[in-house]
């Protein structure tokens, strides 16, 4: 099968590409950057701006299937950038698939599209979108997800997957930020510290995408829906984070900040960053505070029933691989 993976040079995208190559598929990676390491493995690579509809159409042409992982992530940044990448870019992918006769489209979404600030425990696919999102990322990803699911039909089968907190070796996002804050003594437990969350080891997230892709096709009864995909069991967030930090010789988080205090600080920092045009992102936002304090873990039953998703890597093996990869790459010494 000829498969285009948008964002194929990214953390999740590379894992999906590697899995597809291992199964013998012909893979093209489309990304903004250049990834010679993918070409060395026989992957065709295309430089692509999702906001360019003609370029997206050219990349999609001739494909049997598309896995759309590319997006602008993060909790802070100009709205126009999120709109261009997440909404316009996804619209361009959907339109290109329909025009080119592509039969399968797997979209990477996020549980944050349904996060309303409250606990979600063993939540299923019936969670509604909230009336209002507290960050641009989940808002634009929710709109993208609607575009993908709304396009499902006799010609194009679509599905949206919602992996939560993807982690593991080569992670350029979640773990480096965590390690940096731990080194500088800036980690604080927000809320009670007892909240349970779903996390997703990167190889498990890749397996979910590939399993969905191979089972998907026009007319399958489970197409046109969104599915949570994560590791088999949730973790107590702060216990898990502190355990990982300890195994890597970094300082665990000990002090606590009440959720109300963290949200108030987040609101004040957001205002300061918007008003003053400060660089980077605020050290705390209302959305991040709520995410760190709430329980949000999800039922794998629907994904298992629909396309047979079963996380291949268990919790201890995932942790062992992650520590083994990161340990020689970390400087545990404190930083100012």
Q: Please, is 231 exposed, middle or buried when counting C-beta atoms within 10 Å of its C-beta (0-12, 13-18, 19+)?
A: buried
**Angle of helix 315-326 versus helix 174-183 axis, rounded to 10:** 60
At residue 223, the 3 state secondary structure works out as coil
Question: What residue ranges in the chain does DSSP mark as E strands?
Answer: 2-6, 26-31, 44-47, 65-68, 104-108, 120-123, 157-163, 166-167, 189-190, 196-197, 200-201, 226-229, 235-236, 256-257, 296-298
- Is 227 labeled as catalytic in the residue annotation? no
Catalytic residue among 82, 137, 201, 298: 137
CA 50 to CA 73: how far, in whole Å?
Answer: 14
Active site residues: 137
């Amino acid at each position: 099968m000829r498969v285009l993976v948008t964002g194929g040079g990214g953390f999740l995208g590379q894992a999906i590409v590697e899995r597809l190559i291992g199964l013998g598929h012909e893979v093209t990676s489309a990304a903004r950057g250049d990834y010679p390491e993918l070409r060395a493995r026989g992957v065709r690579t295309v430089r692509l701006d999702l906001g360019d509809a003609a370029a997206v159409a050219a990349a999609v042409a001739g494909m049997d299937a598309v896995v759309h992982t590319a997006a602008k992530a993060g909790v802070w940044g100009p709205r126009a950038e999120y709109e261009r990448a997440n909404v316009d870019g996804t619209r361009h992918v959907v339109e290109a698939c329909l025009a080119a006769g592509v039969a399968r489209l797997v979209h990477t979404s996020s549980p944050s599209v349904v996060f309303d600030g409250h606990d979600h425990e063993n939540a299923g696919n019936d969670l509604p979108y909230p009336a209002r999102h507290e960050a641009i990322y989940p808002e634009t990803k929710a709109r993208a997800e609607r575009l993908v699911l709304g396009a499902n039909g006799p010609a194009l089968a679509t599905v949206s997957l919602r992996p939560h907190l993807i982690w593991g070796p080569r992670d350029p996002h979640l773990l480096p930020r965590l390690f940096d804050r731990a080194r500088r003594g800036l980690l604080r437990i927000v809320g009670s510290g007892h909240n349970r969350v779903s996390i997703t080891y990167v190889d498990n997230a890749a397996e979910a995408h590939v399993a969905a892709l191979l089972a998907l096709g026009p007319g399958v009864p489970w197409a046109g829906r969104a599915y949570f995909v994560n590791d088999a069991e949730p973790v107590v967030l702060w216990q898990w984070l502190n355990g990982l930090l300890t195994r890597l010789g970094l300082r665990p988080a000990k002090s606590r900040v009440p959720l109300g205090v963290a949200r108030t600080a987040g609101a004040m920092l957001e205002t300061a960053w918007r008003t003053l045009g400060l660089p980077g992102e605020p050290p705390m936002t209302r959305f991040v505070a709520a995410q760190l304090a709430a329980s949000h873990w999800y039922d794998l039953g629907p994904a298992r029933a629909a396309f047979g998703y079963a996380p291949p890597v268990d919790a201890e093996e995932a942790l062992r691989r992650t520590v083994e990869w990161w340990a020689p790459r970390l400087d545990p010494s404190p930083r100012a």
